[in-house]
């Protein structure tokens, strides 16, 4: 039971250090810390580490920092202003529209164009048509069979 409370207490310690603990949580935590020396030590050490973090010294910044930034920006702007982007908007649109038009065109073109028939197939169709005209009662399958037989003869 105590282990669970200690684990929870350590999480509450970190929340307290981040100012994210409500009054109820604080009350529960402090009552545990007063009874548990390990957790109390944990809280003190973690708090100390956080205080030390805030106190970490930082070297002085170059006093001419602002002017260095300004000159760097000016230098960069001189390199960039007349550069034409590789893919300007017009070019991008062209790359998009042209293939689309070609696709639509080829689709329409192939859809309407009649397929080129072979001469043999054309003759066969002609014969089949004539045969069915002459023999309207005959079924399509029988007509094909007759044509094939006559062809072989």
Partner 1 sequence: MEKDFLEEKDEILVQRSKNGDKEAFDALVQRYRLPLFRFVYHCIHKQEDAEDITQESFVKAYLSLSQLKNNSLFKTWLFRIALNLIRDNKRNEKKKPTISLDSYIEEEGKDPVAEAEYEDGYEEEAESEDNELLARLRMEISALPMELREVIILRDLQGFSYEEVAKMVGCPVGTVKSRLFYARQILREKLAPFLKDEEDEK
Query: What is the contact surface with partner 1 in residues (CB under 8 A)?
Result: 11, 14, 18, 41-42, 44-46, 48-50, 52-59, 61-62, 65-66, 68-70, 72-73, 76-77, 80
**Smallest separation (angstroms) from partner 1 to the CB of 85:** 14
**Smallest separation (angstroms) from partner 1 to the CB of 9:** 14
Taking a C-beta distance cutoff of 8 angstroms, is the pair 11, 28 a contact?
A: no
Quote the CA–CA distance of 73 and 41 in Å, as a whole number: 51
Quote the CA–CA distance of 33 and 43 in Å, as a whole number: 8
Nearer to partner 1, 62 or 119 (CB): 62
Nearer to partner 1, 46 or 127 (CB): 46
Taking a C-beta distance cutoff of 8 angstroms, is the pair 89, 108 a contact?
A: no
């Amino acid at each position: 039971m105590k282990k669970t409370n200690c684990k929870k207490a350590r999480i509450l310690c970190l929340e307290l250090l981040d100012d994210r603990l409500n009054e109820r949580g604080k009350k529960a935590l402090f009552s545990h810390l007063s009874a548990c020396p390990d957790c109390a030590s944990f809280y003190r050490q973690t708090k100390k580490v956080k205080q030390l973090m805030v106190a970490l010294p930082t070297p002085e910044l170059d006093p001419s920092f602002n002017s260095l930034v300004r000159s760097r920006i000016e230098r960069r702007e001189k390199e960039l202003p007349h550069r034409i982007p590789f893919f300007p908007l017009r070019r991008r649109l062209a790359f998009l529209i042209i293939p689309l038009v070609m696709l639509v065109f080829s689709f329409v073109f192939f859809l309407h164009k009649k397929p080129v028939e072979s001469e043999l197939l054309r003759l066969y169709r002609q014969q089949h048509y004539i045969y069915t005209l002459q023999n309207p009662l005959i079924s399509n399958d029988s007509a094909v069979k007759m044509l094939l037989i006559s062809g072989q003869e």
